[in-house]
Amino acid sequence: MKPSVLVFSGRSNPKLTGSICEALGQDIGRLEVIKFSDGELSIEINENVRGRDCFIVQSTNSPGNDHLMELLISIDAFKRASASRITAVLPYFGYARQDRKLKARVPITSKLIADLLTTAGADRILTMDLHSGQIVGFFNIPVDNLNALPVMLPYIREKYGSKGITIVSPDAGGVERARNFAQRLDDAPLAVIDKRRSGPNQVAEMNVVGEVKGRTCVIVDDMIDTGGTLVKAGETLLKEGAKKVIACCVHAVFSGNSEEGLTASGFEEIVVTDTIQIPRSFNCAKVTRLSVASLFAEAIRRIHSEDSISSLFK
């Protein structure tokens, strides 16, 4: 007999966890986060998890270090409470952009995070749209890297159709993601923006490779951070004659003054998902948020029943 499944929520995105549990037809597992006066955290699991298949949902968005530490402590608590299997569900995997050594004396932080999660006691990782596929190889445990295509593609198709659309990758590294989107949108044409960076979150120059004049351009990316690069990409496409520009980005990091920049931008619409809980204070009328709860719920159901995850995307 397979152990029954329990889904718990960290403090980063309890709303998403609630929607996942609703789709699964069950309540959120009872877990209490205790914060001491010196800032240290402790976890108390108020459920019997012995021999159970446990999933803990926690994005490591801002404050990323706090949310990461909370997740690590939670995993340790589940391990010491004799859970049968512990799956860390990270809808948004923080530090993913630090995935290689581009200059001397810098860390590969995403590899460090992978080691920490494994050492803490995670048996499996469930995440979505990692910044680069190589991060899966940083783990010595199974990793299921979902993508938001089954949620975003139907929305774009229904609202904008598939005729006269060009899918745009904002850089060379995102071509595979954009190509996958384009192929499933009736083999839409693909364009790439060649950008030259002058520093972190700073782009000095952009050039478009591909035909965008008179077309509806959909920029496909894994995340929006400050939004500066995305806004500049949109402006570049409009200067090249694009009819309208839409952004399709999975993770809404929205740091710095992204609200002002996106509001003033030339984007028709900015489509994101709920992998990160957007603060109530964030107010940009151009942002549309789609839920990935049903996708995560189905993935959890399949992991628990040992069914195929990859078939979700065929």
Cα 84 to Cα 286: distance, rounded to the nearest angstrom:
44
Hey, what domains does the chain have and what are their CATH numbers? 5-147+294-313 (3.40.50.2020), 149-291 (3.40.50.2020)
**Best CA proximity match to 290, nearest among 152, 168, 104, 115:** 152
Per-residue tokens: 286: 């151009």
CB 188 within 8 A of CB 182: yes
Distance CA 203, CA 88 (A): 35
DSSP the chain: -PPPEEEEE-SS-HHHHHHHHHHHTSPPPPEEEEE-TTS-EEEEE-S--BT-EEEEE----SSHHHHHHHHHHHHHHHHHTTBSEEEEEESS-TTTT--S--STT---HHHHHHHHHHHHT-SEEEEE--SSGGGGGG-SS-EEEE-SHHHHHHHHHHHH-STTEEEEESSGGGHHHHHHHHHHTTS--EEEEEEEEEETTEEEEEEEES--TTSEEEEEEEEESSSHHHHHHHHHHHHTT-SEEEEEEEEE---TTHHHHHHTS--SEEEEESSS---TT---TTEEEE--HHHHHHHHHHHHTT--SGGGG-
Quote the pLDDT of residue 6: 97
Give the residue-averaged pLDDT of 12-36: 96
pLDDT exceeds 70 at position 283: yes
Report the pLDDT averaged over residues 234-246: 96
Q: Compute the average pLDDT of residues 149-166.
A: 95
75 confidence band (pLDDT: 50, 70, 90)? very high
Confidence of residue 57 (pLDDT cuts 50, 70, 90): very high
Q: Band of the pLDDT at 200, cuts 50, 70, 90?
A: low
User: For residue 115, what are the contacts with CB-CB under 8 A and spacing of at least 6?
Assistant: 138
Q: What is the mean pLDDT of the chain?
A: 94
Exposure on the CB side of residue 261, measured as CA atoms within 13 A:
17
Overall average pLDDT of the 70-83 stretch: 98
Q: Report, as an integer, the average pLDDT of 57-84.
A: 97
List the structure tokens of 266: 């030339």
Whole-number pLDDT of residue 119: 98
The band of 2, judged by pLDDT with boundaries at 50, 70 and 90, is: low
Lowest mean pLDDT among 98-112, 187-201, 284-298: 187-201
pLDDT at residue number 92: 98
Residue 310: band (very low, low, confident or very high) from pLDDT cuts 50, 70, 90: confident
Average pLDDT over residues 163-189: 94
**Mean of the pLDDT values across residues 145-153?**
96
Q: pLDDT value at position 1?
A: 41
Question: Is 258 within 8 Å of 230 (Cβ atoms)?
Answer: no
User: Which residues are designated catalytic?
Assistant: 195
State the Cα–Cα distance between residues 25 and 28, nearest whole angstrom.
10
> What's at 78, amino acid-wise?
F
| Backbone angles phi and psi of 275, in degrees to 5 | -65, -30
